[in-house]
Amino acid sequence: MAKKKNTGTSAKKRDTPAGKAPNKNKSILTAKSLDFMERYLNNASPTGFESSGQRMWLDHIGPWVDTYFTDPYGTAVGVVNPSAKYKVVIEAHADEISWFVHYITNEGFIYVRRNGGSDHMIAPSKRVNIHTDKGIVKAIFGWPAIHVRTPKNDPAPSLDNIFLDCGCASKEEVEKLGVHVGCVITYEDEFMVLNGKTFVGRALDNRMGGFMIAEVARLLKEQKVKLPFGLYVTNSVQEEVGLRGAEMIVERIKPDLALVTDVTHDTQSPMMNKIQSGDIACGKGPVLAYGPAVHNNLLKKVIAAAGTNKIPFQRSAVSRATGTDTDAFAYGAAGVPSALISLPLRYMHTTVESVDRQDVENVIKLILATLRSLKANEDLRYFK
């Protein structure tokens, strides 16, 4: 979701493998899918530099689509029934917030710039990867020790004072490593599972979305569903800097209808404010947004599909815009009826973004059920 507004076990050592459901409910997620999910989440795909993740995603969905295409900035689209006239999009965004190398001091420290809504509050003491032509260069966000800070000199982290140390004593030494202004920086934190059911990692916003729409494509294929329309499984770039990838691809596809998935804030954890952000809980199902960009007739179909298939859901109201690619689809290509099916998530834009496994499954089920309920030529106009 664009910003407008270690305990636990490691992936390798966790007690409950992600592939094993902790309860008796049969999971729709296969071990192979979960293996992809983990690799896809751990791979870096900074906004504007998403190609390696997109390649991985396209290779993954290949068996379940008839064809695919990419656009100049890297949005990837897998297509089922490419010759069909009526086009339905299911969409997520592929990019991950990151930092840019902005200014290298003579002493070899690096100041950064945001690439998307990266959070200065969480930076101090984090380990990072600087992406260079020579490969990954390791660095750390340093911070003065608690011993030397005083009540009068105890600054909060801000873009002006957070800095990277890559073990170099001069600008020349930094440059020798291959680091230059404009290199992107991501955190090295990787996927893990808490309590057998909470998925944790970087950029689950919104690569969990890319995973979920891929799962929809897989299930359609495996269940031998013959859709009466063209399906465009779309993984857009550059959402985090203003829905840019979606703005581009909507004009290229010119779809008739779009189901967008992204993450939204769970409001149950400390310091969240339900008056400000609504009452949303991880574990209680997909969140359906109400707002002008969301097409009410399409939303009714999503809700009907949830009812028929006994999929739990929650509701949220947005002011003006959804802040997701839904807006780009709704207001692009002369107006595309769009709906937003969100995955509740805790700690957005930190390295410990968390979602509930059951919610992941229910978002997949709800997109799938909605697609199965759509006819060949849905005319969703409010009146004629």
- Which residue ranges make up the site for Zn ion (CB under 5 A)? 1, 205
Kindly tell me which of 238 and 370 has the beta carbon lying closer to Zn ion: 238
Minimum distance of Zn ion from residue 48's CB (angstroms): 14
Minimum distance of Zn ion from residue 133's CB (angstroms): 27
Minimum distance of Zn ion from residue 47's CB (angstroms): 10
The amino acid sitting at 16 is T
Kindly tell me which of 204 and 371 has the beta carbon lying closer to Zn ion: 204
Minimum distance of Zn ion from residue 346's CB (angstroms): 13
Kindly tell me which of 4 and 152 has the beta carbon lying closer to Zn ion: 4
Q: Dihedral of CA 167/173/178/181: which sign?
A: positive
Concatenating the DSSP letter of every residue in 255-308 gives -SEEEEEEEEE---STT--HHHH----TTS--EEEESTTB-HHHHHHHHHHHHH
Minimum distance of Zn ion from residue 265's CB (angstroms): 11
Nearest to 333 by CA among 262, 260, 247, 239: 247
Kindly tell me which of 220 and 237 has the beta carbon lying closer to Zn ion: 237
Minimum distance of Zn ion from residue 335's CB (angstroms): 25
Kindly tell me which of 1 and 293 has the beta carbon lying closer to Zn ion: 1
Kindly tell me which of 1 and 174 has the beta carbon lying closer to Zn ion: 1
Helix (H) or strand (E) holding 331, with range, is none
Nearest to 291 by CA among 316, 257, 324: 316
Residue with tokens 């068996």: 63
Q: Is 233 left (phi over 0), alpha (psi -120 to 50) or beta?
A: beta
What 3-state class would DSSP assign to 12?
coil
What 3-state class would DSSP assign to 334?
coil
CB of 46 closer than 8 Å to CB of 73: no
User: What are 351's two structure tokens?
Assistant: 């390295």
Kindly tell me which of 1 and 257 has the beta carbon lying closer to Zn ion: 1
Nearest to 162 by CA among 113, 94, 117: 113
Minimum distance of Zn ion from residue 2's CB (angstroms): 6
Q: Is 81 left (phi over 0), alpha (psi -120 to 50) or beta?
A: left
